[in-house]
Amino acid sequence: MKKNLPILIALVALLVLGVTRYEHFASAYNITSFWRYNAMFALISIGMAFVIMTGGIDLSVGAVAALGSVVAALASSHGGVAAVLAGSCAGLAVGVLNGLVITHMRILPFIVTLATSLGAHGLALLLGHNDAVAISAQSNFADFGQGDLFGLPIPGLVAAAAAVLGWIALRSTRFGRHALAIGGSEEASRLMGLNVDRTLVSVYAVSGLLAGIAGAILAAQFGAGQPNEGVGWELFAISAVVLGGTRLTGGEGSIAMTIAGVALLGLVFNLLNFENGLGYISLSAYWQSVIRGLFLLLVIVLQARVLRRRTAPAKVAH
């Protein structure tokens, strides 16, 4: 719990700053809009958390979300359910492909997911004819991104359900225990008799599936599949996961703290938008990307220092 205190303190500090400085920060509109928009990032971050816990990486989630949005938009003429399923299945297919290539061909996840990222982006452009794909106006698909259920945003409820299931899977199932064991030592996991390949394929499949669902939300929220969207989403997910205390080397992680990482990053950009509205600063989306990159670099440096302190041999007193 002690290692999670900095991020929790930072979250509380940002919330206090927002409430005291900005008039409409705590309004129902801002809260629901924040939850609705950041649901996509929560989904890809949950999938990324499991991948990083195994010691891997998934650089394809942003492009897979873009592909899922285009596929969902194309399928929206068959109804909202068909659109969500189509986008989800597109993501699942890429995730399974990642897992199979990594496990059967013994290629580094970094290389495999970089290649599938390029492929997914190209396929999204091909399917969308290099342009956004409008969703069907006759279907109810838009409700998946823009609608509410019991007064709560549907994308936020989807992300919350994924977070609860992910938390349960990590704490109470063999899938979670095996993922952490593989991250601790893949060789030792094989010697213990764990089915490492099956677990890794499952982990990348989950990551792809959640990215596909995020893509379906993207299409429903903006009214069109976006083949050029998703750039840098993998950096957001990695940042959120690492901020939440998951080690990049694997073997340790938390779904709850990953969501806290998503909330922290989302709050930073939410506060920047409010500050833009006050007119004191004016930061474009490009500057937000710079800030996101600096956040990731800072967290990785801090995590590396903590890891070195843990593994440094104790000094022998003379």
What pLDDT is recorded for position 1? Answer: 55
Check if the beta carbon of residue 251 is closer than 8 Å to that of residue 183.
Answer: yes
Stronger pLDDT, 36 or 276, i.e. the higher one: 36
Interval 49-69: pLDDT, tens? 999 999 999 999 999 999 999
Token pair 């990215």: residue: 211
* Residue 25, pLDDT above cutoff 90: no
CB-based contact 197:105 (threshold 8 Å):
no
> Which residue did the predictor score with more confidence, 278 or 174?
174
Q: Where are the beta strands (DSSP E) in 179-296?
A: 224-225
pLDDT score of 318? 43
Higher pLDDT, 286 or 194: 194
Q: What letter does residue 195 receive in the DSSP assignment?
A: -
What does the mean pLDDT of the chain come to?
88
Considering only residues 27 and 315, tell me which one the structure prediction assigns the higher pLDDT.
27
Q: How far apart are the first and last CA of the chain?
A: 34
Which amino acid makes up residue 234? E
**Higher per-residue pLDDT: 310 or 308:** 308
Pairing type for strands 152-153 and 148-149 reads antiparallel
Considering only residues 236 and 284, tell me which one the structure prediction assigns the higher pLDDT.
236
pLDDT tens, position by position, 177-218: 999 999 999 899 998 989 999 999 999 999 999 999 999 999
Quick one: pLDDT at residue 303? 62
Neighbouring residues of 223: CB distance < 8 A, sequence distance ≥ 6: 134, 135, 142
